Structure formats: structure tokens, C-alpha cells
């Protein structure tokens, strides 16, 4: 099974909310010449190569954190954020948990964490 090498610490579904009509957003980065801006698609920013790879395993378990845990967190959060955007107030315990789990995941999934 081929695994993605780009592991997004800012999920693509979340980045898409800041795109314009071109489906791109602007990435700002600190470089040696100062802060630079570049237009990019959500898939082209907010990732690090093999960030969540568990190298101690030799099979598909290497990517368990990404494929089983984070994808589940992101899928459930996408439903929650859609409800927020629509102004719905019919959140339940499951929806609240999904959203809070997503917010906490943003703190622990970053490369520096």
C-alpha cells in the first residue's frame, strides 16, 4: 500500500477555508531575506515529509497515527466546523468532543511538538 509522504499538521480541509476564487491561499514564511509570501494550494503548505511516520515498524503500522487517528479526528472535525459555519446550534456531546479533539490535535501535531 502506497502511503502519502506529506503529513499535514494543518489539515487541508481547514486550509481550504482561507482560499480565494483561485482555490489558493497565501503562505507567509520567514526566510533569510525576511518574510515572503507565495500563493499555494492547501496541499502545498502546512505539511512536513513523513512527520508521523513510526520508523520502528516495517509495514503499514508505520502510518497508523496519520491514517487511523488523525484522519478520524479531521473527518469528525470537518462535520463540526461545517455546523459552526452554518450557524447551527444543534451540537451534541459527540460534536463537541470532535471539535475539542481537533483543537487539541492542532497543539500536539505540529512539527515542534
**pLDDT tens column, 32-83:** 889 999 999 999 998 888 877 777 777 777 777 787 788 899 999 999 999 9
In a domain, 113, yes or no: no
Average pLDDT on 109-113 reads 77
Stretch 18-44: mean pLDDT? 93
pTM: 0.76
Residue 85, sorted as left (phi over 0), alpha (psi -120 to 50) or beta, turns out to be alpha
Contact 24, 39 (CB under 8 A): yes
Domain range for 56: 6-108
Q: Is there a contact between 80 and 40 (Cβ–Cβ < 8 Å)?
A: no
| Domains: count for the chain | 1
- pLDDT of residue 2 exceeding 60, the answer is no
Q: Is 89 contained in some domain?
A: yes
Distance of CA 3 to the CA centre of its chain: 16
In a domain, 103, yes or no: yes
The gap from C-alpha 85 to its chain's centroid, in whole angstroms, comes to 18
The answer to whether residue 90 scores a pLDDT higher than 70 is yes
Amino acid at each position: 500500500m502506497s502511503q502519502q509522504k506529506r503529513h499535514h499538521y494543518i489539515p487541508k480541509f481547514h486550509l481550504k477555508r482561507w482560499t480565494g476564487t483561485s482555490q489558493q491561499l497565501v503562505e507567509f514564511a520567514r526566510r533569510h531575506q525576511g518574510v515572503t509570501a507565495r500563493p499555494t494550494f492547501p496541499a502545498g503548505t502546512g505539511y512536513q515529509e513523513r512527520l508521523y511516520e513510526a520508523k520502528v515498524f516495517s509495514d503499514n503500522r508505520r502510518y497508523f497515527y496519520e491514517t487511523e487517528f488523525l484522519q478520524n479526528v479531521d473527518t469528525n472535525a470537518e462535520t463540526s466546523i461545517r455546523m459552526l459555519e452554518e450557524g447551527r446550534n444543534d451540537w451534541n456531546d459527540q460534536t463537541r468532543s470532535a471539535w475539542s479533539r481537533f483543537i487539541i490535535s492542532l497543539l500536539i501535531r505540529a512539527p515542534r511538538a
